[in-house]
Structure 1
């Protein structure tokens, strides 16, 4: 094989070839190469030429004829669609003739007149995909072959982004495949194989929480990195600009910062609505002033912050007459202010429940059990503050 270049209009990249097996894809694009720039003329190919172009190694004639038949059957199933408007479209197959002659060992191909532009008359300058046929047929996985041509469309930009649903559709991935199966059966083979043809190929899995919502392939110019061929898969967690600003602020708290890893941020995004997470993180930023070792502690703190009611200072406008009257009343009350405070203190002292230190500690243990948590200085402080006006700790309780 020489330097055979396959070239076609980018419209063909919108068609899912997922049903094609590896050898069927090789045969299809080898045929596309031979009919390129031939208009709608009939093109006759010998079996031997087509086998050489497609790197077809099986010598069994019946097997080869069956693969040619399966290739055409699947081409018929492609039903290329050209949209004229939102509701109007035309469907047709690429070839108007596809004749296999087993006796003469030839295949006759003729391009459909409505599809001529795909392989011959490109409608827009630069709106085409081209690649070396030898590179395409050297790939083993059908997923790698399909991704190869899709990336080649973006060879100039060297970057291609997919929404995860678009990716599943264009590669015709079985709906039952979970992300772990896509990683193992599709993404890993793609990166391993295409990493040999696209320099510094990187796949970034864009996540929202723990769910992969998009994929980004990028690679570099071979002329700039002629000796370097590295490929890798990177996880990227996508967050809104508002949440990202809060996270960056929270990282300034040296006690929280070590827990804000990519994995933990994924967990937090999945657990909480964004507005609740922002409120809880801001609370934790102010309240956590000691070393914490587990994400669970931060999660509990975020939940506490979420439950806090917002306090607003409202300035009430009072008419001057009413305000003057209220001022007079305040002056009248001023003389009795100290006496009222003394009385309040006495009432508070009377209302406090006298308990021993052991009894108080027992109450604290029950409080922790109710909260389903363990002792921490933070929890103790919360308990003490909430009970300071309720209990008075004494050495002994005298019974009458």
Structure 2
């Protein structure tokens, strides 16, 4: 399983189905694997081991709980809007459990639009450690954690109250006092406490974490209607993470060249061997449509060095996102590819 979860920010503002804590952990592990391929095959006990041991469940109980999750995932629908476009689609096309003793396996296929929503990092992305996420208690704490991680470099999250309640899946029957007592205060306490997550060294996930409800200024008295909520915490040092990722991958490639013959470095997200091409996979570009005019949005699905006509070239597998057709492209070098596709 991947050590990191990385996904496009739009996913944070998409209400999940009403999942239990166990189901959320499984679901996020599946999300962590959606990087190179929207169709996955995973060993069930690899997927559920941390939860299985944490909850002290038998393998049979864990498997039964997964059956319940499968029903929710296959009926999981998304509705969201971007500018003047409105989207509605299912998230998973297929989920198959192959119950073979002693290693049951899971096959799951993400729907194309949902896969794109998760893997499109060009408009900003959220990342965090899977073990840290799974160490948290309660579904509300886990959801708030994801939201706050998006704003880790600013230390400020402002959100409309109705949208916040929808994302958090807060029951409509809860009064403000119930939300404070049952949801916000326990979550704030855990997320701002010192914890021994991975080593003997203590760590605070969000330092100085607090919140403030925003009330309608037109309301009367102290009991005005809540229209928003703001969270404040000490921000993490700001970095250009995408640039840093590219630089780190390029540095790794140089080290690999110097240490030829040694064991290659493996990309932490994909499990594939790291090359200087890795940073450009999943990037988007515009390609002129020769038949209809205008430009189609395309995505780089894979890049490799190949020998073609006795010459080392860059081979690319591309996806036209207008018609979902794949096609190949060839480049003399990375510089040629960046120039041809107008990549920064």
TM-score by length of 1: 0.50
The answer for the alignment partner of 1:9 in structure 2 is 8
Question: 1:145–1:164: structure 2 CA closer, same or farther, 3 Å change rule?
Answer: same
The answer for the alignment partner of 2:59 in structure 1 is 61
Q: Deviations over 1:250-303 (max 9, x none)?
A: xxxxxxxxxxxxxxxxxxxxxxxxxxxxxxxxxxxxxxxxxxxxxxxxxxxxxx
State the shift of 1:84 in Å.
Answer: 6.9
Equivalents in 2 of 1:222, 1:150: separation in Å?
15
Question: 1:171–1:84: structure 2 CA closer, same or farther, 3 Å change rule?
Answer: closer
Residues 1:136 and 2:133 are matched in the alignment: yes
State the shift of 1:142 in Å.
Answer: 0.6
State the shift of 1:135 in Å.
Answer: 1.1
Larger radius of gyration: 1
State the shift of 1:136 in Å.
Answer: 0.9
Equivalents in 2 of 1:28, 1:94: separation in Å?
12
The answer for the alignment partner of 1:293 in structure 2 is none
The answer for the alignment partner of 2:188 in structure 1 is 191
Q: What secondary structure does 2:154 align onto?
A: coil
State the shift of 1:72 in Å.
Answer: 2.7
User: Contact (CA 8 Å) 1:65, 1:102: kept in 2 or not?
Assistant: no
Equivalents in 2 of 1:33, 1:8: separation in Å?
8
Equivalents in 1 of 2:92, 2:36: separation in Å?
13
User: Contact (CA 8 Å) 1:30, 1:53: kept in 2 or not?
Assistant: no
TM-score by length of 2: 0.57
State the shift of 1:192 in Å.
Answer: 0.9
User: Contact (CA 8 Å) 1:202, 1:218: kept in 2 or not?
Assistant: yes
User: Contact (CA 8 Å) 1:7, 1:130: kept in 2 or not?
Assistant: yes
User: Contact (CA 8 Å) 1:141, 1:189: kept in 2 or not?
Assistant: no
Q: Deviations over 1:338-397 (max 9, x none)?
A: xxxxxxxxxxxxxxxxxxxxxxxxxxxxxxxxxxxxxxxxxxxxxxxxxxxxxxxxxxxx
CA RMSD of aligned residues (A): 2.5
Mark the runs of 5 or more structure 2 residues left unpaired by the alignment.
194-204, 239-344
User: Contact (CA 8 Å) 2:208, 2:234: kept in 1 or not?
Assistant: yes
Q: Which fold has the larger relative contact order, with Cα–Cα distance below 8 Å and residues 6 or more apart in sequence?
A: 2
Q: Deviations over 1:36-77 (max 9, x none)?
A: 32223x322112211235565444233222222222322344
User: Contact (CA 8 Å) 2:153, 2:235: kept in 1 or not?
Assistant: no
Q: Deviations over 1:203-229 (max 9, x none)?
A: 1233453234322111114569xxxxx
User: Greater strand share, 1 or 2?
Assistant: 2
Of 93-102 and 181-190, more deviation after overlay is shown by: 93-102
Residues 64-103 of structure 1 aligned to structure 2 (within 5 Å): 64-83=62-81, 86=84, 89-103=86-100
The answer for the alignment partner of 1:46 in structure 2 is 43
